[in-house]
Amino acid sequence: MPIWCEIISQDRVVFEGEADIVILPGSEGEMGILPNHAPLLSTLNYGVMKVRRHGKEQFFTVAGGIVEVRPDRVVVLTDAAENIEEIDVQRAEEAKRRAEEYLKAGPPPDTDEYLAMEAALRRSNLRLEAARKYRGPSMPSYRREGS
């Protein structure tokens, strides 16, 4: 019996569908959720979550949030989530460079802009790393980047 999985961000439903197992970056460590899991509420870290169904895996980056687990469903609430296949490596690289340049210039920390840039850097790092690690070799834009 599969478990129903939903990934929801504030402005859209990123994924919904059946899964045999869902692996999540919980704040207390990685956790794998199988059908009939005990009810659970947990916070999530920045990271990659996996949804496996019939031996095929889909990967999603999640930018923190919380997850609610019930015996028959897993619901992830997050600020931003993205299917790894959707990640635009080039754009992420650019965002990363911009953030790094900004932080290198040594602006006063603790301002809103500083924190926003720091968060942006963290996000782009996560996306790039995820794309690098989990994407199939059929992605030409990435192969060029990696070599």
Partner 1 sequence: MPNTREVRLRIRSIKNIAQVTRALQAVSTSKVRRSVTALMHTQPYATKAWEVLTHIASQPGRDDLHPLLSQREKVSAALLIVITSDRGLAGAYNTNVIRFTLQQFSQYPYPLRYIAVGRKGRDLLLRLRKEIIAEFSNLPTPPTFKDVSAIGMLAIEEFLSRRVDEVFLIYTDFVNMVRQTPTMKKLLPLEYRHEKERVGTFDTVTHQGSRAVYIYEPDMNTILNRIVPRFTELQVYQAILEAQASEHAARMIAMKNATDAATELAASLQLEYNKARQQAITSEMLDIAGGAEALSIQEKVA
Rounded to a whole number of angstroms, the minimum distance from the CB of residue 124 to partner 1 is 15
- How would you class 102 by CB atoms within 10 Å of its CB: exposed for 0-12, middle for 13-18, buried for 19 or more? middle
Out of 1, 11, 56, 105, the only residue in the binding site for partner 1 (CB under 8 A) is: 11
φ, ψ of residue 110 to 5 degrees: the values are 75, 0
Residue 12 is a binding residue for partner 1 (CB under 8 A): yes
Out of 17, 32, 71, 146, the only residue in the binding site for partner 1 (CB under 8 A) is: 71
Contact by Cβ (8 Å): 77, 8: yes
Contact by Cβ (8 Å): 102, 117: yes
Contact residues for 18 (Cβ-Cβ < 8 A; gap 6+):
2, 3, 4, 5, 53
What are the distances in angstroms from CA 125 to CA 32, 129, 133?
A: 24, 6, 12
Nearest CB to partner 1, comparing residues 11 and 137: 11
Rounded to a whole number of angstroms, the minimum distance from the CB of residue 68 to partner 1 is 6
Site for partner 1 in 39-68 (CB under 8 A): 39-43, 64-66, 68
Nearest CB to partner 1, comparing residues 11 and 109: 11
Rounded to a whole number of angstroms, the minimum distance from the CB of residue 43 to partner 1 is 5
Catalog residues that contact partner 1 under the rule CB under 8 A: 6, 8-13, 26-28, 36, 38-43, 64-66, 68, 70-71, 75, 77, 79
